[in-house]
Amino acid sequence: MSHLQGQTAIVTGGSRGIGKAIVERLATDGANVVIFDINEEALSEAEQSLQDKGLTVRAIQADVTNRDQVTKAVQDVMETFGSIEILVNNAGVIRDQMFYKMSEHDWDTVMNVHLKGAFIMTQIAQAHMIKQSYGRIINLSSTSALGNRGQANYATAKAGLQGFTKTMAIELGKYGVTTNAIAPGFIETDMTRSTADRLGISFEQLIEASVAKIPVARSGKPEDIANTVAFFADSRSGFVNGQVIYVAGGPKA
């Protein structure tokens, strides 16, 4: 439990779903975890529920696409904890639509949150990591990066995060900062529930259809992703850099 003791982690979009599971896992492993999220209500609920479990978790409302807000939030973290060892770029949105009907706004929204958000967060956090010659940056991609009907924007953003991951690994590795990515397959979250709504089927039907294609014969849970984040975040994983792990229950999406 104590191998992350004294370390500080920032998890963007950490108030629900996969993000919240990551926050809980890192905090359980001993880290001081700070959630950055734009949703004030969800943020407050997540902070309280995790603190009620005796975990060291703090919440800061911040829009990851706004450099001024991120700069202020990171400064707050540094003043409180004195360092940032782990950054998890998890914040994301979906605006699913068939490409011929996709609006420019839906395209820009997804690109901004996933790619611009990761760019701003990483650029600001890595400056502190380089000074301390240590850091773990973990980006959340998706099996959709391989292509997915109705998700031209999301698939492109998630594929972009993989290129971003590999480039950061090359540029930051010599400073003791590793960068890796996780590409989840079908995970039971509010986001996949909204996919069922878009398809006009029940969530249970979507789960059943998805499990039929997964070799391990079950759907993924947020904790499955949190466990992989914990591996990348570990100081003992320092020779693992620039990698993308598909956490999907099998070799394909």
**pLDDT tens digits, 1-21:** 568 999 999 999 999 999 999
How would residue 201 be classed by pLDDT, with cut points 50, 70 and 90? confident
Residue predicted with more confidence, 114 or 205: 114
pTM comes to 0.95
In this predicted model, what pLDDT tens digit does every residue of 53-111 receive, in sequence order?
A: 999 999 999 999 999 999 999 999 999 999 999 999 999 999 999 999 999 999 999 99
Query: Is 154 marked active-site?
Result: yes
Identify the pLDDT of residue 170.
98
Which residue do the tokens 């400073």 mark? 175
Q: In whole angstroms, give the CA distance from residue 87 to residue 64.
A: 13
Residue 18 identity? I
Report all structural domains of the chain as residue ranges with CATH numbers, in order of start: 8-185+221-247 (3.40.50.720), 188-219 (no CATH)
Q: With 60 as the cut, is the pLDDT of residue 253 above it? A: no
Q: Cα–Cα distance between 208 and 51 in angstroms, integer?
A: 34
Strands (E), the chain: 8-12, 32-37, 57-61, 86-89, 135-140, 177-184, 244-247
Pick the catalytic residue from 100, 154, 175, 246.
154
For 185-199, how does the pLDDT look when each residue is reduced to its tens digit (9 = 90+)? 999 988 887 778 777
Residues 34 and 10 sit within 8 Å (Cβ to Cβ): yes
